[in-house]
């Protein structure tokens, strides 16, 4: 594999070499100052390094049409070390398993990835890390949404600068805005690059009505919508030619094959990526869907990502570390998960260790990170 020079080394290698001054230089400089106008030295020419770009420069590695064809996008989990920092070794293994099992893309730092518990520095670092390690094999969609338009613009600018292929944007939550405010907010972030709009009223407290989506769909940068309202809304959009990903794992089979959805942005695919790919790519399969529904119900018995974090720890693929306010599911639910794995088949789940029921004392809860 070709070696890559560090940025500092490149700067030293290409810096201009100026001659040492001689003893007569002082007199020459004084004489020159009187007779010749000063000119600056020729600027050092640096190699064509990949440096961060501003929002108005050409920086998108994809166009919206490249995102519209994705069928299985995993909202990837962010694992932690015992002190609460990112466990990048475990994270890389999770992303690799998605690639090996045919996922088309990953959402980095979404709700499932606990972007809401990250600083923006952590957030952009993880997006950049994912792009650098896996961007040639899978589409990287960074969750750079915010209830502040200013923050959403700035985060998206940084995300595209480090190479993400598309942005995921939610509507402003808590400090909700008007219909016209939603349109203005989305138009601002859509100007940054390929974008998926995320509608999840259960979390934001506000539905994004069809009028808003139909209005902003005039932008060439709208890749589509992650829709959690239900399959009637999915079909309403798909009949109008708007690309939709189901945001509900338990509805994604019918959304894909009966209501025109392109695919799913999935939590369950963190656990069984191969089966979720089969569900999205290989035609109607009500028996497989029925087989997975108990697992999906279990995952969402408490707010996501509590169930997923618990499950991945029990499978031995991440450390049992939780950033508060998330805490593991109670032991009865942990025992239920072991039975679900046995019913579906351990070979379909990520990891190679035997699934186990963890004790309460096995979990680490981190409040400061």
Catalytic residue numbers read 198, 226
- Note whether 270 and 111 are within 8 A (CB): no
Helix locations, the chain, DSSP H: 7-14, 25-35, 64-68, 88-100, 120-134, 149-161, 179-190, 201-204, 210-216, 231-238, 252-258, 273-281, 286-299, 306-314, 331-344
> What's the CA angle centered on 295, arms 292 and 300, to 5 degrees?
125
User: What backbone torsions phi and psi does residue 254 show, to the nearest 5 degrees?
Assistant: -70, -35
How is residue 249 written in tokens?
């794992």
How is residue 130 written in tokens?
């994912």
DSSP per residue, 191-237: TTS-EEEEE-HHHHSS---HHHHHHHTTSTTEEEEEE-S-HHHHHHH
Within 8 A by CB and 6+ apart from 314, the residues are 334, 337, 338, 355, 356, 357, 358
């Amino acid at each position: 594999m070709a070696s890559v020079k560090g940025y500092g080394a490149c700067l030293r290698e290409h810096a201009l070499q100026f001659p040492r001054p001689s003893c007569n230089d002082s007199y020459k400089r004084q004489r020159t100052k009187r007779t010749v106008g000063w000119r600056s030295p020729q600027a050092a020419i640096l190699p064509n390094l990949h440096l961060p770009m501003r929002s108005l420069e050409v920086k998108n590695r994809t166009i919206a049409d490249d995102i519209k064809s994705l069928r299985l996008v995993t909202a990837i989990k962010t694992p932690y070390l015992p002190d609460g920092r990112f466990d990048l070794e475990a994270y890389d293994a999770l992303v690799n398993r998605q690639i090996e099992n045919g996922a088309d893309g990953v959402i980095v730092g979404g709700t499932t990835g606990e972007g809401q518990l990250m600083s923006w520095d952590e957030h952009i670092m993880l997006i950049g890390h994912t792009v650098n390690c896996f961007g040639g094999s899978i589409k990287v969609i960074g969750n750079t949404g915010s209830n502040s338009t200013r923050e959403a613009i700035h985060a998206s600018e940084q995300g595209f600068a480090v190479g993400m292929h598309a942005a995921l944007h939610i509507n402003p939550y808590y400090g909700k805005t008007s219909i016209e405010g939603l349109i203005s907010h989305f138009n601002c972030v859509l100007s940054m690059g390929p974008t998926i709009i995320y509608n999840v009223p259960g979390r934001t407290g506000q539905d994004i009505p069809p009028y808003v989506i139909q209005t902003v769909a005039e932008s060439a940068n709208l890749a589509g919508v992650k829709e959690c309202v239900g399959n009637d809304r999915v079909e309403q959009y798909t009949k109008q030619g708007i690309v939709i990903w189901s945001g509900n794992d338990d509805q994604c089979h019918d959304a894909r094959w009966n209501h025109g959805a392109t695919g799913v942005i999935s939590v369950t695919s963190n656990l069984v990526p191969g089966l979720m790919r089969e569900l999205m790519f290989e035609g109607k399969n009500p028996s497989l869907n029925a087989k997975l529904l108990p697992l999906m119900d279990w995952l969402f018995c408490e707010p996501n990502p509590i169930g997923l974090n618990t499950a991945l720890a029990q499978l031995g693929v991440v450390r049992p570390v939780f950033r508060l306010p998330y805490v593991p599911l109670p032991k009865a639910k942990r025992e239920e998960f072991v039975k679900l794995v046995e019913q579906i088949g351990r070979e379909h789940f990520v990891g190679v260790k035997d699934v186990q029921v963890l004790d309460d004392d096995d979990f680490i809860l981190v409040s400061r990170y």
